[in-house]
Amino acid sequence: MEPQSELLKINKNEYLAQQKSKLEDALEMGLTKNEYNLICEKIDKIPNITELGIFSAMFSEHCSYKSSKKWLKTLPTEASHVIQGPGENAGVIDIGENLAAVFKIESHNHPSFIEPYQGSATGVGGILRDVFTMGARPIALMNALRFGSPDQPLTKHLVSGVVKGIGGYGNCIGIPTVGGETNFDKSYDGNILVNAMAVGLAKKDRIFYSAATGAGNPVIYVGAKTGRDGIHGATMASAEFTENSTEKRPTVQVGDPFTGKLLLEACLELMNTDAVLSIQDMGAAGLTSSSVEMASKGSLGMSLNLDLVPTREDKMTSYEIMLSESQERMLMILKPGSEEKAKSIFDKWDLDFANIGEVTNTGRLILTKHGFEACNLPLEPLVEDAPEYNKPFEIKAIKKVLKPSDLKTNLTIIDILKIIFKNPNIASKKWIWEQYDSSVMGDTIFANGDSDASLVKVHGTEKKGSFGKGLAITTDCTPRYVKSDPIIGGMQAVCEAARNIASSGAKPLAITNNLNFGNPDKKNVMGEIVGSIKGISEAASYLSTPIVSGNVSLYNETNGKSILPTPVIGMVGAIDEVENSLKISAEPDNVLIALGQSENFKAGWVGCSIYQEIINKKYDGAPPPINLENEKKVIEILLKLNEQKLLTAAHDISDGGLLTTVCEMLFKYNLGLDINLPSNLINCDSYDPLLQSWCFGEDQARIIIATKHIKKVQLILKENNIDFFVLGQTNSSSNLNLKDITTIFIKDIKNLNEKTIPSMMGEQQQG
Amino acid sequence: MRSGVVIFPGSNCDRDMIVAIRKITGKTPIKIWHKEYDIPNLDLIVIPGGFTFGDYLRCGALAARSPVITSIKNHISRGGAVLGVCNGFQILIEAKILPGSLIRNKKLLFTCRETTLEVQSCIENPFLSGLKIGECLKIPVAHNEGNYFAPEDLLKQLKEEGRIALKYIKQNDNEKNYNPNGSTEDIAGILSNNGKVLGMMPHPERAINNLQGGTDGLKFLTNCVEQIIG
């Protein structure tokens, strides 16, 4: 090899990247002193800058899950319908008829705060690649968004940018964005959450995995060229924010949905041949994580010539090439001899295709640049020795049970209902949803709140007399419950997701989760992580909805202030015949029944509810308890009633309680209802705390159904020992009457519901 | 009926359109790749929606310079019918096959929702002739640049020649947002001067069954097919 002085002449920066590192370099890259010493010891040398960069990316929280791994291992991940659990690009479940649903959720929180459009757009692009890398055609996108207080000036800018970014990518690539949740809380003022979920469809026997095979096989780089964008993005995503975070803008990746579309079509076309042995998306930590993970999963090695990597800029160094997070790139191992055929497909789609090296059996990652060895590392320490911390934690839970009489108010039921629908957390998100193309691909049955879960048809399963199968998808989390009691909050997120899936008529099947928390070095934050994982595990096991994929996002703090703990549950379910699905809107002359609510239910659970916040501006009570047995019973009976085609609509009771849920069911057709009350409440007035708690309490395991077959339904409910309460029959009056106590004009409330977000966003009111 | 659907890099409603046409005719339309100069004799060519070439530069501008446009022009000169939907409409305008321009939606936001269209009184054409004048169709839109703009003299000409095919219409007097993009005189679709080319922003291929927003799109496309077969 030429002397290093030759390299200095060719590319000075590359020369610097190949120099021995110092402790200061490691600290700057987010590693600790202990981690640096461990690295030097494990590889038996002092790493050069490129090698250290590779280590810092692989050891980042984002790639190594070092703080959460111990607890993630406790999640239930198995069931007979699980084809692939966590550890691959996405989870895979069997949905029958030789088909598989492939799905995952992933966060792009930090980049979206710094640069909302590109941050959220690349979040969508990244999660789509995770799904089509597995050989699945993406069929639906969802998201879970958390923004700061609506009256904070930055919020409007962030909402507008994030929504545009999500739409910008999804609309262009032509995958429908069918729903999700958007909430606001001041804890997200300096650290928003953008979690994007994608669901894809594959043939069960045509799933592609990432483990490299066969020493000597060619390693192929395809897609967009590598640029200097997003360098060390994974490390940025694993650090707390400060006031100067916007200076990190260059570490935000730039998305190109057009190239994403070409890459999607080219990859799926190639996967239709027998050329691809294994494939991995270049996501967080780019070429580093893809090459390291592919080689180590196959217990092999990899040798790459970085001069062959297509680059966008001149004289990029090995460090930059390995740590760039440029989007729309893939790494593949091809069957030897199939390179020409594969290249012709990528030529057709005008994408780069480069043979950059080969699989080896050395167990090492060897990289060359300008003929010099830029990196020579054993793979084992990169993956196996990534630290796993058992950080101290304390699970704090509020035990104080608030009674309705603790919350005295001079607000009437109508006043409260108006405040609820003026709250952007409850109000219609139509302003947001209309900016997403929800109907492209022609398979969307329910999007954007038409039903508790979004529903897409499974293309190609149409049969005589049926439109075929459907996949139901939802994202859920109630962070204020998690904050008050992490275990209950974790359980509640799973239960609400399952209720939502069931309320669309589908059977809940599996989960992808996105665990968004603050700084795990704080005992209480670590307690929130551990507690909610415990809660999620317990509920997911009980409901047989294992976790098949997921993502962890920690250090969601700004200047030491942590976000509300937000473990988002993305759940997928299936229905055999989509025409049997359920929307939330009741029809005229339907009887509404609250499932899971007994005749004796007299006082609602007010602690930690939206109602409590309205009355005393606090969430200091214990959240509603979870009874898994009841949750399961309510879901099973709902599905049973629906199988017998006895239902018109269903809507689970969550934020805002029973009365809010009833209103939402009446909105579409401007219906009215004379609502039945338990005997103890008939003589109450509109200020009565007990009556208000009945209206707005957030007791769990309840779903309101609408039926035209009241007698049959009642019979089945009694036979099955299910608690229920008949709320009354809908009429065309558009008045919701609570006996003689009060009359709610549904059209007024509906109007509020639709205007809240547009007026928050400063849109001029029309019509 | 022999039909074809043109596919550019970035087209994304091609499959939806193929499914819809197959549902009506029982035959799968041929796929026409954008680099093709020679295409077989067809009765109908559809340019579907999408973001051809990422909508970079201007929507439809790069696609309008693709080789296939020459073939489409030849097809038109032979008297063939062309339907351009959404990005397909934008491409027809950029290729100067249809006049006017499609600028950004008035609210500067992408808009995906159902709209109500009214069939206009217009010249003989193979798309609307079987439908009643004044008939309403519920068909969704999904676009960012669907605001049809025509200067006054062009607008006058289009009216005189009976080339305004479809307009957004309010369902009741109070409805104010019935036009999703702020287009001139609520125009949703226009015809070429021989009536054989229709460009429209709404997506008929997305309204082909009762579970998904009704069947008015199917009705519209079925009528096209029947008129073209004659």
Query: Who contacts A247 (Cβ-Cβ below 8 Å, separation ≥6)?
Result: none
For A610-711, list the strands marked E by DSSP: 647-652, 672-675, 703-707
Q: How confident is the model at residue A31 (pLDDT cuts 50, 70, 90)?
A: very high
In this prediction, residue A766 carries a pLDDT of 45
Q: Does the distance separating the beta carbons of B177 and A438 come in below 8 Å?
A: no
Distance from C-alpha of A550 to C-alpha of A562, rounded to nearest angstrom: 21
Whether B48 has a pLDDT exceeding 80, the answer reads yes
For residue B42, pLDDT over 70 is answered with yes
Q: Residue A164 is encoded by which pair of tokens?
A: 């545009």
B65 shares contact with chain A (CB less than 8 Å) = no
- pLDDT (tens digit per residue) in A420-456: 999 999 999 999 999 999 999 999 999 989 999 999 9
Task: Please list the active-site residues of A.
Answer: 62, 108
Chain-chain contact of B208 with A440 (C-beta, under 8 angstroms): no
Torsion of CA A744, A747, A749, A754, to 10 degrees: 170
pTM, 2 dp:
0.95
Is the Cβ of B55 closer than 8 Å to some Cβ of chain A? yes
**Number of CB atoms found within 10 A of residue A253's CB:** 28
With a pLDDT cut of 90, the percent of chain A lying above it is: 88
What pLDDT is recorded for position A238? 57
Three-class SS state of A551: strand
Q: A767 and B175 in contact by Cβ < 8 A?
A: yes
Q: Which of A611, A638, A633 is nearest to A697 (CA)?
A: A611
d(CA A622, CA A327): 44
Partner A contacted by B177 (CB < 8 A): yes
The tens digit of pLDDT for each residue in A83-126 reads: 999 999 999 999 999 999 999 999 999 999 999 999 999 999 99
Chain B: residue nearest A446 by CA?
B212
Task: Identify how many contiguous H helices and E strands chain A contains and give both numbers.
Answer: 27, 28
DSSP letter, residue A583 = B
How far apart are alpha carbons A271 and A465 in whole angstroms? 33
| Gyration radius (Cα) of chain A, Å | 27
Mean pLDDT of B183-207: 97
Distance, CA of A253 to CA of A230 (rounded, Å): 5
B173/chain A closest Cα distance in angstroms: 10
ipTM for the complex? 0.96
Q: What is the largest CA-CA distance in chain B?
A: 51
Q: pLDDT by residue (tens digit) across A157-212? A: 999 999 999 999 999 999 999 999 999 999 999 999 999 999 999 999 999 999 99
Nearest chain B residue to A166 by CA: give it. B110
- A691 and A667 Cβ atoms separated by less than 8 Å: no
Contacts of B156 (CB under 8 A, 6+ apart): none
For residue A763, the tally of other CB atoms under 10 A from its CB is: 13
**Residue A371 contacts B, CB cutoff 8 Å:** no
What CATH number corresponds to the domain at position B71? 3.40.50.880
DSSP state letter for A681? G
Boundaries of domain holding B114: 3-229
Give the residue on B whose Cα is nearest the Cα of A172: B51
Q: Is A751 on the interface with B (CB under 8 A)?
A: no
| B131 closest CA partner among B115, B143, B118 | B118
- Counts for chain B of helices (H) and strands (E), in that order: 5, 11
- Identify the pLDDT of residue A242: 62
Ordered alpha helix ranges (H), A133-178: 153-173
Indicate the DSSP class of residue A336.
T
Q: A738, A602, A608: which is closest to A662 by C-alpha?
A: A738
Q: Is the pLDDT of residue A764 over 60?
A: no
Nearest CB neighbour to B142, from listed A168, A440, A766: A440
Specify which residues B149 forms β-bridges with.
B101
Chain A residues touching B177 at Cβ < 8 A = 766-767
Which amino acid is present at A308?
Answer: L
H/E run at residue A9? helix A4-10
Structure tokens at A425: 């957390």
Q: Do B51 and A763 touch (CB under 8 A)?
A: no
Q: End-to-end CA distance of chain B, in Å?
A: 10
SS3 of A428-445: the string is CCHHHHCCCCCCCCCCEE
User: Phi and psi (nearest 5°) for A653?
Assistant: -90, 120
pLDDT at A387: 86
In a 13 Å sphere around the CA of A507, the CA atoms on its Cβ side amount to: 14
B213 touching A, CB under 8 A?
yes
CA distance A758 to chain B (A): 12
Residues of B in contact with A435 (CB under 8 A): 109-112
User: Would an 8 Å CB–CB cutoff place B57 in contact with chain A?
Assistant: no
Give CA–CA dist A661/A658, Å, rounded. 5
Please tell me the predicted confidence (pLDDT) of residue A765. 47
3-state secondary structure A514-549: EEECCCCCCHHHHHHHHHHHHHHHHHHHHCCCCEEE
Residues of A in contact with B112 (CB under 8 A): 171, 433-439
What per-residue confidence (pLDDT) applies to B213?
A: 80
Q: Is B13 on the interface with A (CB under 8 A)?
A: yes
- The DSSP secondary-structure symbol of A88 reads B
pLDDT at A237 over 60: no
CA distances A203 to A93, A200, A507, B121, Å, are 11, 10, 20, 49
Q: What's the pLDDT tens digit per position in A510-527?
A: 999 999 999 999 999 999
| A460 contacts chain B (CB < 8 A) | no
| Contact call for residues A691 and A405 (beta carbons, < 8 A) | no
User: What pLDDT does A767 receive?
Assistant: 37
pLDDT above 70 coverage of chain B, percent: 100
Looking at residue A254, its pLDDT comes to 80
Contact B114, B167 (CB under 8 A): no
Share of chain A above pLDDT 70, in %: 96
The total number of structural domains in chain B stands at 1
Bridge-partner residues for A543, per DSSP? Answer: none
For residue range A293-328, list pLDDT tens digits in order: 999 999 999 999 999 999 998 889 999 999 998 889
Helices (H), B65-195: 67-77, 87-94, 152-160
Q: Cα angle at B54 between B85 and A270, to 5 degrees?
A: 100
Q: Which two tokens stand for residue B55?
A: 């909508």
B-facing residues of A in 419-438 (CB < 8 A) are 433-438
In the numeric block, the tokens 């509640």 are attached to: A492
What band does A236 get if pLDDT is binned at 50, 70 and 90? low
**Chain B residues within an 8 Å CB radius of A437:** 110, 112, 142
Cβ contact, residue pair A258, B12, below 8 Å: no
Is the separation of the CB atoms in A592 and A706 below 8 Å? yes
Contact A171 B142 (CB under 8 A): yes
Cα–Cα nearest to A565, from A537, A609, A596, A525: A525
Helix (H) or strand (E) holding A181, with range, is: strand A177-184
* Bigger pLDDT: A764 vs B174: B174
Helix extents (H) in A333-442: 339-348, 379-383, 413-422, 430-433
- Mean pLDDT, chain A, rounded, equals 94
Q: What's the DSSP call for residue B190?
A: E
The H or E element spanning position A139 is: strand A137-147
**Model confidence at A235: pLDDT above 90:** no
